[in-house]
Each structure stands twice: as C-alpha cells, then as structure tokens.
Amino acid sequence: ESVDEELKGTDTLKLPEKKRLTFCVEGNISVGKTTFLQRIANETIELRDLVEIVPEPIAKWQDVGPEHFNILDAFYAEPQRYAYTFQNYVFVTRVMQERESASGIKPLRLMERSVFSDRMVFVRAVHEAKWMNEMEISIYDSWFDPVVSSLPGLIPDGFIYLRASPDTCHKRMMVRKRSEEGGVTLDYLRGLHEKHESWLLPSKGACSGLLSVSQLPVHIEGSLPAGIRDQVFYLEGDH
C-alpha cells in the first residue's frame, strides 16, 4: 500500500529508456573468442533472446569484391606492402558490421574485437615490426579519433578480455591451422599479448576483476573518447 502511495502522482514521470549494452570480446589470436561467443549464442538457450552476437568480419577480409581477393592472406604474405591497406579495410568492415547490427533489439550486444584493439594492438604491432612506416601510422592515427567520434556505435560499454598465455594461443593456432596464418610466429603472438596486457590491464598493484577504464592506459593513448562508461572483465583462458 505504501508503495502505491509513493507511486501516486508519478504516472507522468518517464523512466529513462533502457540503453542497449555493447561489450567487445578481446584477446590474442586463437585465444577462443569465436568459441566463447558461439557457446553463448548456441548453447545457452536462456541467453539467446537476450544477447546478439556480432562476429568479427573475417569473412569479408577473405573475400573482397567480385575478384574474391583475400586481403588477410595478402597481408600475411607481404606484410610490408599490405599492412596499412589491411588495417584500413579492417576498420571499414567493422563500421559495416556495426551498422548491420545497429537496429537489433536484444538488450546485450557482444562484438568480437573492436576498432580499439585494432589500433592499440595490431596497428602498434605491425608498426613495431616495420610493416607500417611512420607516414602510414601517422595517417591511421590522424583519421582514427575524428572518425570514431562521429560513429558512436563503435564505442562499447565495456570489454571482456579473454586472457591466455602466448604459448596456449600458439598451440591453439597450430591445431586450428587457418591457411593464412601459417607465418604467424610465437614471437608475434608474444608481442600481441604484451599489447593486450598494457592496454587492458591496470598498472601493477591493482587487483583483477571489474575495473574502471579510467584506471587504464587507454585514455593516455587517446584511444577512447572521454566519458565512456566502460568496464573490463577478465576471463583466464589457459585451460
């Protein structure tokens, strides 16, 4: 009764519309992002109606245009020639992928990777490997912030970081044997691992679990617009 009393006169009060949450699933090559997302999509019936899965647009990278170019393959075959072109196309296909899922109504959207890991992990790695030169990384950096800020759908509410050792990822990659990835070395995976760690893990001493992104180096690098209310969850994935 007292609740009824309290509610009297509030019927004109509008509750804020529920915003759909978007989380990006991050982690090294072969850590198990796709498997993780497929499990949620296919095996958890209760979640199926609640969660929309947006897989990484890898199929778009393997089959470009009427000529069916495989740009992922071209990148690994001639990284110095194609690193910039590939990362540029990765970005564009993420925009396309986000658009395709933008009108969904399920309350939670889980996306495989993000433009932020593209920039913080892969673009940094290919630059360090000298596969992207100073001019190319400078071009990438110069359009990244303005373009991302004009596309708010690309900015998630949080990240889920699937974390495993580079050795584990390497073993899984060997079992999977994606034809384009024949030349991916354990050293390259170690570099990608370090970049994930320094991007998504807080500085020494902070505890794991749920973290506010304001603790993360991500802001220092200017890779996320300010004000984003995101969080990072970890899942240890060596088993």
Residue with tokens 């899942």: 235
Cα–Cα dist 123/174, whole Å? 23
Cα–Cα dist 159/128, whole Å? 25
**110 scored as a contact of ligand DCP (CB under 6 A):** no
Candidates 128, 145, 233; CA nearest to 188 is 128
Query: Would you say 29 or 154 has its CB closer to ligand DCP?
Result: 29
112 as an active site residue: the answer is yes
Cα–Cα dist 23/40, whole Å? 13
Is beta strand 211-212 parallel, antiparallel or unpaired with respect to 231-236? antiparallel
Cα–Cα dist 41/55, whole Å? 11
**122 scored as a contact of ligand DCP (CB under 6 A):** yes
Contact with ligand DCP (CB under 6 A) among 24, 29, 189, 211: 29
Q: Which residues pair with 235 in a beta bridge?
A: 162
Query: Would you say 109 or 193 has its CB closer to ligand DCP?
Result: 193
Query: Would you say 20 or 190 has its CB closer to ligand DCP?
Result: 190
Q: Which residue in 26, 52, 112, 136 is the catalytic one?
A: 112
Q: Which residues contact 30 (CB under 8 A, 6 or more apart)?
A: 169, 170, 172, 173, 176
Query: Would you say 18 or 177 has its CB closer to ligand DCP?
Result: 177
| Binding to ligand DCP in span 33-92, by CB under 6 A | 33-34, 56, 58, 72, 87, 90
Residue with tokens 């940094």: 124
Stretch that binds ligand DCP, among 27-35, 39-47, 153-161, 195-203 (CB under 6 A): 27-35
**127 scored as a contact of ligand DCP (CB under 6 A):** no
User: In the complex, what is the shortest distance from the CB of residue 75 to ligand DCP, in angstroms, rounded to a whole number?
Assistant: 6
Chain residues that interact with ligand DCP, rule: CB under 6 A: 27, 29-34, 56, 58, 72, 87, 90, 113, 118, 122, 181
Q: Which residues are marked as active site?
A: 112
